[in-house]
Structure 1
Amino acid sequence: MSVMVLTGTGTGVGKTVVTAAVAALALERYRSVAVLKPAQTGVGPDEPADLAEVGRLAGQEVTTWELGRFPDALAPGTAARRAGLPPVTPSQAAAAAVELARGHDHVLVEGAGGLLVRFDDDGGTLADVAWSIGAPVLIVADAGLGTLNATALTAEALRQRGIECAGVVVGSWPAEPDLAARCNLDDLPLVADAPLVGALPENAAALVGEEFRAVARRSLAPFLGGEFDANGFAAEYAA
């Protein structure tokens, strides 16, 4: 079963764009690709959300599946409770990922916020989804100041649960990186004890079609279908 889970170190770190980039390159290597969003928060019933963005960027050939949608921009469990709706549980998310894997060559599961954000009042999280199906987790991190602690904590939580960390991707690399961002290229893999496997430019979401795929290739490591060289990238921005 080829399933990968993507989590952010927080909100607004570029997780959806990274998901779209991984999906776009997966389409070039596999016959069929699916993206699962267990819980979408912060959007209304008829508003375009994360999966619409994935389809726009990666291509409509990607199968998408959203299990639950809650209007408040809060943790899924809290948003579900406030909306008076049943939450999406980790077991439901895991079952959906397995179902998609039966009909697709590759499945990506995009979380909401960080790894330990609660899905329900029982404390279920995205980490439970990954552990239950034995899927590796790709960490999407911010570029700048403060990212090292959040990345280290996320990676530590994965290790404590026996979940493989597939690596770290910087979700939005600035056009003019400051000293902290440039130093973080060396420090992120150290604190995560996992390789830096990509860095998407901050304008990536403005691209579509082949332009987006070309950026994805340059910005993601070979095991994700790209050409990204972490050592060369870090050397280019050496502090």
Structure 2
Amino acid sequence: MNKGLFITGTGTDVGKTYVTALIVKKLKEAGLNVAYFKAAMSGNEKDENGKLIPGDALHIKEVSKIKQPLESMCPYVYEKAISPHLASQLEGNPVCLDVIKEEYDKLCDEYDFVVCEGSGGIICPIRYDDKTIMLEDIIKLLDLPCLIVADAGLGTINSTVLTYEYMKNINIIIKGIILNNFHKGDLMEEDNKKMCEIKTEIPVLSTVSKNDVDINIEINKLIMED
């Protein structure tokens, strides 16, 4: 069994966090001691004490019911709802890869499996000052296989295939696609599913509809056992 899995998307607001929450929930219900990790998270609100709360991580925790402490889920939390590289330029505390690896390794030591979520789409700047860190650098640092989350609607063939080709060209392992906001029986979306599989030659492992509380996917597809 691989120790972790990375969830990226074809862009912002395709439902990565929603799908990731269902995946973490699925793994927990299968009996795994599972953790969640997101290296950098923008667009967060402060609590009554002025502390930034990582909203995506809180959502994961509430949906999946995992007991992992919130503070271990995301080492870099920013307030402004912009790319992490720009948020850190404005707010300070730029991402350091050594910290990311250290925090991820701690989770690997404590948990059976770690589900990591990316920021934005695959071409997302995480740091851009005297150092450049892109999302792909974090995926390679953690040496994880990926799932691509895409919206099922119009335009997804283009965005999914372009995401796949970019990741393939930089030697990232992609195990499959998950289509979010899927309407079963919809002619266009069913064709989108078929065309994404044809053009990428990787499977759509599951489809997720609005308000789904579970994801229909085999556990071995998530933990990447043959």
Report TM bin, short chain: 0.7 to 0.9
Q: Tell me the residue number matched to 1:51.
A: 57
- TM-superposed CA distance for 1:86, in Å, is 1.9
Instruction: Report 1:196-215 matches (<5 A).
Output: 196-204=204-212, 212=213, 215=214
- Seen in structure 2, the aligned counterparts of structure 1 residues 173 and 165 have a Cα distance that, compared at 3 Å, is same
| Cα distance between partner residues in 2 of 1:96 and 1:37 | 10
SS at match of 1:173: coil
Q: Return the match for 1:116 from 113, 119, 123.
A: 123
Q: Return the match for 2:203 from 195, 205, 213.
A: 195
After superposition, give the CA deviation of every residue in 1:151-204 in whole Å (9 maximum; x if it has no partner): 112212221222210210012224774x43221110112233311111111112
| Cα distance between partner residues in 2 of 1:45 and 1:8 | 26
For the pair 1:95 / 2:102, whether they are aligned, the reply is yes
Q: Return the match for 1:220 from 217, 222, 225.
A: 217
Instruction: Report 1:14-93 matches (<5 A).
Output: 14-46=15-47, 49-62=55-68, 64=70, 65-83=73-91, 85-93=92-100
Q: Do the aligned residues in 1 keep the contact of 2:54 with 2:74 (CA within 8 Å)?
A: no
Runs of 4+ in 1 over 6 A off after TM superposition: none
Cα RMSD for the two superposed structures: 2.2
After superposition, give the CA deviation of every residue in 1:56-77 in whole Å (9 maximum; x if it has no partner): 1111334551111212211110
Q: Tell me the residue number matched to 1:229.
A: none
Instruction: Specify every segment of 5 or more residues in structure 2 that has no aligned partner in the other structure, as ranges.
Output: 48-52
- TM-superposed CA distance for 1:98, in Å, is 2.0
Q: Tell me the residue number matched to 2:11.
A: 10
SS at match of 2:175: strand
| Cα distance between partner residues in 1 of 2:54 and 2:103 | 21
Q: Tell me the residue number matched to 1:130.
A: 139
Percent identity among equivalent residues?
27
Q: Tell me the residue number matched to 2:50.
A: none
Q: How many residues matched?
A: 213
Instruction: Specify every segment of 5 or more residues in structure 1 that has no aligned partner in the other structure, as ranges.
Output: 205-211, 226-239
TM-score by length of 2: 0.85
Q: Do the aligned residues in 2 keep the contact of 1:135 with 1:164 (CA within 8 Å)?
A: yes
Larger helix share, 1 or 2 = 1
- Seen in structure 2, the aligned counterparts of structure 1 residues 123 and 183 have a Cα distance that, compared at 3 Å, is farther
- TM-superposed CA distance for 1:97, in Å, is 1.8
| Cα distance between partner residues in 2 of 1:63 and 1:27 | 15
After superposition, give the CA deviation of every residue in 1:76-116 in whole Å (9 maximum; x if it has no partner): 10111122x12224443233222211111100111111112
SS at match of 1:6: strand
- Seen in structure 2, the aligned counterparts of structure 1 residues 109 and 86 have a Cα distance that, compared at 3 Å, is same
Q: Tell me the residue number matched to 2:160.
A: 151
| Cα distance between partner residues in 2 of 1:72 and 1:191 | 36
- TM-superposed CA distance for 1:30, in Å, is 4.4
Q: Tell me the residue number matched to 1:185.
A: 193
- TM-superposed CA distance for 1:44, in Å, is 2.0
Q: Do the aligned residues in 2 keep the contact of 1:33 with 1:104 (CA within 8 Å)?
A: yes
Aligned AA (1:73) = A
Q: Do the aligned residues in 1 keep the contact of 2:21 with 2:63 (CA within 8 Å)?
A: yes
SS at match of 2:181: strand
| Cα distance between partner residues in 2 of 1:158 and 1:40 | 21
